[in-house]
Structure 1
Amino acid sequence: MTALENLVQNLARLPGIGPKSASRIAYHLIKTDAAYNKQLGLNIATIQEQVFPCSICGSFTEIDPCPICEDHSRDRSQLCIVEAPQDVITLQSSGAFNGLYHVLGGAISPLDGIGPENLSFAKMLKRISEGQFKEIIIATNPTEEGDTTALYIRHILKDRQDLTITRLASGLPIGGDLEYADRITLARSLRGRVQF
């Protein structure tokens, strides 16, 4: 296998990159400045040494605990539970949430061999019991796995009468047309309707 074929094959293993995109990226890198390629290679080679999960919430960070967990101006009565570290970044970019986060490390998926014991539920329960939380916000993805995970969280917290358990609303996007919405999105929108 040539060096170019090897690079294309490795690039194609990245999520969202197919063989054609991998080939375009590889040819772009061949024509790019060598200093850029060296810096990119160094960034890739050292990323796991520089970025790691926060020991408290599980989000990716370069310092431990992460800046969000260390920020005492945040609302420590709210805990938002997400599936993946990138979900924290997405929610933070909205500017609408100022509480704390807990990253599960995935969603329950029996078909993929992922059960509750494979995710950070024990750590989540410990944080909740030791914290001063009043609201648990379940922000799992609106998928079968995300719904299963949300139901499991609600189940393991059912005896905690001191907690309000909420779930992110899901439904139609702003500016979207009903005719382009799929059945599941429409059904979720109808079930999650609010008084106007």
Structure 2
Amino acid sequence: MTPSLEHLQQLLKQLPGLGFRSAERVALHLLLEKPERLPALVEALQDAASTVRRCDRCGNLAEEALCAVCQDDNRDHGVVCVVEQVPDLVALERSGAYRGGYHVLHGKLSPIHGVGPEHLNFTSLGERMRSGEVRELILALSNDVEGEATCHFLTDELMPDDAEIAVSRIGFGLPSGGGVLYADSVTLKSALDGRRTYS
């Protein structure tokens, strides 16, 4: 293997979802089987790197000051769904079940890993909450210790004292089609805690 190919493979291996074998296959595919795709791929990467940025309001990906979601007048921007990462927002959008606004934190509080409030996108969320435009926050954060800590920080430290903002947390539990037998204890506890009246 040449040094250049090995370097390319090492860089590809750092991408999420690509292990050693997958990175090797992608590198060889681009260099040997489809080299004509390389210039367009390089150009697209450079173009995205120079034009894609964070939305000034919510932290989503954008090419202008505001992302497509924030610019959409048909959405209810008084309801804000707080997510950890952009892929979480993409998953919610793909579901088609939500038509409000978003706020991307770009992580969650984790003192063990050195992630404090100053590392997350809290400032603009606090501004949005103080502005009076937000009437409901939906916390769509992980069902783990860090996610819970982040939810507590949002409600205890960031919430304006005089704000009348309803706060809800997405439900967690058994996946559709999943059974009790194979669920772990955390999932079962969440399913029981999140139960609702059956009608």
Same fold per TM (> 0.5)?
Answer: yes
Displacement of 1:158 = 7.5
Query: Bigger CA drift: 35-44 or 52-61?
Result: 35-44
Check conservation: 2:30, 2:38, Cα contact below 8 A.
Answer: yes
Check conservation: 2:129, 2:160, Cα contact below 8 A.
Answer: no
Check conservation: 2:128, 2:134, Cα contact below 8 A.
Answer: no
Query: Bigger CA drift: 43-52 or 167-176?
Result: 43-52
Q: Structure 1 CA distance, aligned partners of 2:19 and 2:35? A: 24
Displacement of 1:106 = 1.0
The counterpart of 1:173, out of the listed 138, 158, 175, is 175
Give the partner amino acid of 2:183: A
CA RMSD of aligned residues (A): 1.6
Shift in CA distance, 67/131, structure 1 to aligned 2, threshold 3 Å: farther
Corresponding position of 1:118: 119
Displacement of 1:46 = 2.7
Corresponding position of 1:147: 148
1:7-39, Cα deviation, whole Å (9 max, x unpaired): 111111111211121112222223332221221
> Taking structure 1 as the reference length, what is the TM-score of the superposition?
0.92
Q: Structure 2 CA distance, aligned partners of 1:158 and 1:148? A: 18
Corresponding position of 1:22: 23
Corresponding position of 2:66: 65
1:1-196 matched pairs, under 5 angstroms: 2-156=3-157, 157=159, 159-160=161-162, 162-196=164-198
> Taking structure 2 as the reference length, what is the TM-score of the superposition?
0.91
Check conservation: 2:105, 2:120, Cα contact below 8 A.
Answer: yes
Query: Bigger CA drift: 103-112 or 129-138?
Result: 129-138
Q: Structure 2 CA distance, aligned partners of 1:19 and 1:55? A: 37
Question: Aligned to 2:102, what secondary structure does the other structure show?
Answer: strand
Q: Percent identity?
A: 36
Q: Structure 2 CA distance, aligned partners of 1:88 and 1:191? A: 25
Q: Give structure 1 stretches of 5+ with no counterpart.
A: none
Query: Bigger CA drift: 164-173 or 40-49?
Result: 40-49
Question: Aligned to 1:180, what secondary structure does the other structure show?
Answer: coil
Q: Structure 2 CA distance, aligned partners of 1:126 and 1:37? A: 43
Question: Aligned to 2:76, what secondary structure does the other structure show?
Answer: coil
Q: Structure 2 CA distance, aligned partners of 1:32 and 1:105? A: 37
Shift in CA distance, 185/160, structure 1 to aligned 2, threshold 3 Å: farther
Query: Bigger CA drift: 166-175 or 46-55?
Result: 46-55
Check conservation: 2:60, 2:67, Cα contact below 8 A.
Answer: yes
